[in-house]
Structure 1
């Protein structure tokens, strides 16, 4: 995936700092770090394993998060080439609102709803190779229905499809185009007026903002205020799922900002407790990954952002990965466990967890910057019997060292 051997975030920090003519002390002061800690990051003696630190360094250097994580490497991964190849077409469809040179007869709304559910499963399972070819024709058909029909059902299905497109684009590093798709998703949400669709848009906006240095306050406001405003309107299962996810997002942003995530985690747990008794509802706006198991997973993520690995390992036996209803969520569970073990310098347990994450959702796990960072750190610091075996092969698959 890359010809640059053993790359890591601290190495990129050092290179950008040198180009800027900034001393370690100045950068450390700007990012709110100790100079000795920054020196360890740059030398590869300590992994940069939290969003908060990465965002602080990106802001202090005046670069994007992708500049530090090497996100462009994803586009060279042959397993997801099919997704990246359709992005220019997606851009054209979004900008033109479906007015493109496509002579196909659009599918019926019922067929389109079925296709949207199939695409959602691929996205939630991290199978971007299978997802990519579905997106352009599905989005084109969706735009045509709202332009030619404009019925509430057409707008509801359109909102679900464009939300899925935006979410997939964000996860693959196309944040600006994802924001464009999110704006279209909001237009659909305004047409339907549904609580679930409005919550889903805010969740997505908050996630995109969270990837931008300096935008954490806006990310928290987008998730926190909208969640609080929508809670009284929660009725259906879809409402509960999407508003619950919005609270989970607010908990993670809070933890990243050094605030207490517990109020939002408690609210999410309360919403999860209402799922069994809630009516299904007719809207396509859903997030079926939400539930009690997912709340526990986000507790683990929030604990890692607060550098509390002991809490993550205490939560690990309380959550069975099989209870998480999507492969990408199961991969996230093992990544959080791997992060916790790395922080406690248990490299063998960390490697085992990361291998299980890769097994759960290969494309998703291999593209995660935190996985690359942890694998690279272990390659530099673990015992040789680890680096020449499974760890060395994993390092090749995630692009830390050349194949």
Structure 2
């Protein structure tokens, strides 16, 4: 496997640049480039690689290291070893001529990396995230805001990929650094989801209720961000309650979330944060999810018909989960072809997301048990979701 220095050297020569010319074009010191290319340093800060990549006119991923395509759909703990280590260990001490990371540089690198999160590009994130986490940690107090945002995203990713301990580490650190209740609530939103996925329903409910109370705005003058934040806390209350056999509390929380969504009148993403997008469509998606939890497939399908699905991105935070709820409803009503079709749709849009969903494995298991023969497509899907045949 080539090192970052070898990749820099390869692209630099292809561009016909000397080390000095690359240093002048990128703003990276000649000494750093030489040490990278000579193998004296195995890697570089992501901010440094980003500067070199811009000067060389290639994506930062080209220098950081492309993910192994054979691992692209594998559900594996080993993929996230470097991310866990970056979360749990202090940042590396800089070398004598290392240029320290800057807040603006790390913020720019994070901005370039965010589409990988919203697009469920897990293999690429396993490469990009460790150096970015180390750079953000090395910023010190002045980098608090960008570090909190990165830790929120890292925590969400670790929940998605069932790295629950690493998720807890990232989210607790983000919460400790939160500057105000709205920033803290953005982290608690994912913390509640983590507790739900771990089956800690009582803890999730209590935490969501506490933060719903703390973030409840005065409706007459609430900002869109306040409504979005409060609405998400209410959705977490409802999700925990419906799973914990508290239907009254679940319904009440969903009604208040609906009121917040109506006040917004549209889907709103505070600071363009896809994790916090909230509005009427989000509430409908979660209402359908609740219907699935209480085993009402008829209601799931009825609600699904009212959701403006065309406006949702294929890899948006709630869309794929909704498709799984619809697939589950179809299999419960005996429509195995429609159920399997939804799984195929998710896999086509989000091939790295689906293998991490045990829910998908359960649905496919019921599809297969209800069919007399297995098609080639079903065997392929079983391999994708890790269902033994």
TM over 0.5: yes
Q: Distance in 2 between matches of 1:360 and 1:379?
A: 22
Q: 1:245 is matched with which residue?
A: 232
SS of the equivalent of 2:115 reads: helix
Q: 1:361 is matched with which residue?
A: 350
Do residues 393 (structure 1) and 380 (structure 2) align? yes
- Deviation digits for residues 335-356 of structure 1 (CA, Å, limit 9, x no counterpart): 1110001111211111111111
Shift of the 238–326 alpha-carbon distance from structure 1 to 2, 3 Å rule, reads farther
Query: Pairwise CA RMSD of aligned residues?
Result: 3.0
Shift of the 155–238 alpha-carbon distance from structure 1 to 2, 3 Å rule, reads farther
| 1:174 Cα deviation after fit | 1.1
Return the match for 1:259 from 239, 246, 252: 246
- Deviation digits for residues 231-250 of structure 1 (CA, Å, limit 9, x no counterpart): 13795444433332222122
Q: Distance in 1 between matches of 2:267 and 2:279?
A: 13
Q: Distance in 1 between matches of 2:269 and 2:192?
A: 26
1:340-351 alignment to 2 at 5 Å?
340-351=329-340
Shift of the 186–284 alpha-carbon distance from structure 1 to 2, 3 Å rule, reads farther
Q: 2:92 is matched with which residue?
A: 100
- Deviation digits for residues 130-164 of structure 1 (CA, Å, limit 9, x no counterpart): 2222211221121122x2xx23xx22211111111
| 1:186 Cα deviation after fit | 0.8
Q: Distance in 2 between matches of 1:156 and 1:303?
A: 38
Q: 1:21 is matched with which residue?
A: none
Do residues 161 (structure 1) and 155 (structure 2) align? no
Q: 1:122 is matched with which residue?
A: 116
Q: 2:202 is matched with which residue?
A: 217
Q: 2:320 is matched with which residue?
A: 331
Of 312-321 and 226-235, deviating more is: 226-235
Q: Distance in 2 between matches of 1:278 and 1:346?
A: 32
Do residues 90 (structure 1) and 77 (structure 2) align? no
Shift of the 276–300 alpha-carbon distance from structure 1 to 2, 3 Å rule, reads closer
Q: 2:59 is matched with which residue?
A: none
Q: 1:25 is matched with which residue?
A: none
Q: 2:215 is matched with which residue?
A: 230
- Deviation digits for residues 70-105 of structure 1 (CA, Å, limit 9, x no counterpart): xxxxxx982156985563333333233x42256553
Q: Does the 8 Å contact 1:83/1:132 carry over to 2?
A: no
Aligned residues: 314
1:284-363 alignment to 2 at 5 Å?
287-325=275-313, 327-328=315-316, 329-363=318-352
TM-score (normalizing by structure 1): 0.70
Shift of the 166–394 alpha-carbon distance from structure 1 to 2, 3 Å rule, reads same
Q: Distance in 1 between matches of 2:244 and 2:356?
A: 24
Shift of the 279–300 alpha-carbon distance from structure 1 to 2, 3 Å rule, reads closer
Of 99-108 and 259-268, deviating more is: 99-108
Q: 2:372 is matched with which residue?
A: 383
Shift of the 105–308 alpha-carbon distance from structure 1 to 2, 3 Å rule, reads farther
Of 337-346 and 268-277, deviating more is: 268-277
Shift of the 140–201 alpha-carbon distance from structure 1 to 2, 3 Å rule, reads same
SS of the equivalent of 1:173 reads: coil
TM-score (normalizing by structure 2): 0.72
Greater relative contact order (Cα < 8 A, sep 6+)? 1
Q: Does the 8 Å contact 1:251/1:265 carry over to 2?
A: yes
Of 393-402 and 161-170, deviating more is: 393-402
- Deviation digits for residues 272-309 of structure 1 (CA, Å, limit 9, x no counterpart): 3344699997x687735322212111111111001111
Return the match for 1:131 from 117, 125, 132: 125
